[in-house]
Amino acid sequence: MPRVFPHDLEAERSLLGSMLISKEACQDILNKCEDRDFYEESHKVLFNAMSELSRQNIPVDVTTITSYLLDHSQLDKVGGVEYLRQLSDSVPTLAHSEYYLKIIHNKSILRKIINETTKIAENAFGDIEDIDGFIDESEKTMLAITRDRNAGEFVDVKKVIREVTDRLNKLQSIDGNISGIRTNFRDLDKITSGLQKGDLIILAARPAMGKTAFALNIAHNVAFKSEDPVAIFSLEMPASQLVQRIICSMGGIEGSTMRTGEILKTNANKYYAAAERVSKCNLYIDDTPGVKINEIVAKCRKLKQEHGLKLIVIDYLQLITGSSNNRESRQQEVSDISRQLKMLARELDVPVIALSQLSRSVEQRPNKRPMMSDLRESGAIEQDADIVTFIYREGYYKASEGKEEEDNGLTEIIIAKHRNGATGEVNLAFEKNFSRFTDLAPIGPDGSSAGVRDVRG
């Protein structure tokens, strides 16, 4: 015996009855509903008739509907005039029309899920050559249903003002006005107000500037004793090396002693204390090389559903593989990836930090401070990002050019784009031996810093 698709005929009757007896309810429901949301075919006919009358600016009631259906030889299909009268008489109160609408929407979504998953299952029995493409298309199909469920509507400005006021009251009560997630870098948090949920943050630099170390510093600062985890996708470095760097940073351990194992001979207690501290970081690491963007999305959704999610860090953007097999334009592929990362940030309501390479054109200029145009395979990266940040160490270039000066570790964090705030520069000290960035000593009256700290060991 075939199974019956999910439906609720009583809710459909009540909704149509509400449309017949109230002009306001009719217009509101027409804006929020469509004929495929109804299960009963006669109800689809009625809904389309009401929609057409409304389009022609004709009032919707039993009389006008009867006339329209007669003209189109459809009155018998809906049960005649008697059924229309029953609909209008069966509505106990208009106040429940939103409730009826929600029931109908939910049943409609369930039917869509059944139809689409059935198609996916049938196709899976076929000869599929591109399994990644098949999985990607299947995910897109299910995402489309989700988007239908969460489709936005116009929001009354009064409601928005209440939300803005509530946020201002919350900010007023927060010490330091940090509304987002703290990175624990004093001046960076001050200029950004923390990492904001739903933001895509691009962190770009040339090799050896310390972008991976900086991203890891932020990740373990956020993850330390956090209830919600931080997800790290390391496409270039295995998880063991990545964790080794974090241990060096948190424990003030020189990387060379970790690489040779010397630390266990000279100061084992220091290592185990640092490892214990790192174990308290709520970190989830994926070191799959060449991971596809759709795999990143799926893994993050699953992590949030099972454990929660506070921040996503990806090292680095250009190593992500697109979901399409079309390799005609790598720039277009990277642009598509950046858009999907922005959509992921919005969907999961978490900040996403994506590391990015800069083109070699930086090295060919006398002034090697990075610019927006230096973003490699930029495409839509600049457009999609809420914040674009560059890392620049002038001392590194002076030392590499054979000048007598040594790299003193002074680092500029250049905020070149900030969609919802100020741009500017933040000075930090890079302790390369420890894979660690630190705040400079506060020297300003407001606690900010602008000086140079020599961190050579």
Distance CA 416, CA 421 (A): 11
Alpha helix segments (H runs only) across 33-185:
41-55, 62-71, 80-89, 97-124, 131-149, 157-173
pLDDT score, position 101: 87
Place of tokens 């090292």: 315
pLDDT in tens, 344-360: 898 888 999 999 888 78
pLDDT in tens, 246-279: 888 888 888 888 888 888 888 888 888 888 888 8
Map out the domains of the chain as residue ranges.
1-147, 179-437
User: How far, rounded to the nearest angstrom, does the alpha carbon of residue 277 sit from its chain's CA centroid?
Assistant: 29
CB atoms within 10 A of CB 349: 10
Return the closest-CA partner of residue 355 out of 341, 344, 367: 341
Radius of gyration of the chain (CA): 29
Assess whether the previous peptide bond of 316 is cis (omega < 30° from 0): yes
pLDDT in tens, 18-59: 888 888 888 888 878 888 899 989 999 999 898 888 888 888
User: What six digits make up the tokens of 440?
Assistant: 């400079």
Q: Please provide residue 314's backbone torsions phi and psi, each rounded to the nearest 5 degrees.
A: -125, 125
Fold of 179-437: Rossmann fold (3.40.50)
What is the identity of the amino acid at 273? A
pLDDT score, position 209: 83
CB atoms within 10 A of CB 15: 27
Instruction: Give 376's contacts (C-beta < 8 A, 6+ positions apart).
Output: 318, 356, 357, 358, 359
pLDDT in tens, 178-233: 778 888 898 898 888 888 889 999 998 888 788 899 999 999 999 888 888 999 99
Are 387 and 192 in contact, with CB atoms under 8 Å apart? Answer: yes
Catalytic residue among 40, 98, 236, 382: 236
Would you list the DSSP string of 422-433? --EEEEEEEEGG
Distance CA 411, CA 396 (A): 9
Indicate the CATH number for domain 1-147. Answer: 1.10.860.10
Same fold, 1-147 and 179-437: no
What is the identity of the amino acid at 64? T
The verdict on whether 139 is a catalytic residue reads no
**Is this structure's pTM higher than 0.85?**
no
Q: Between 336 and 439, whose confidence is greater?
A: 439
3-state secondary structure of 416: strand
pLDDT score, position 352: 95
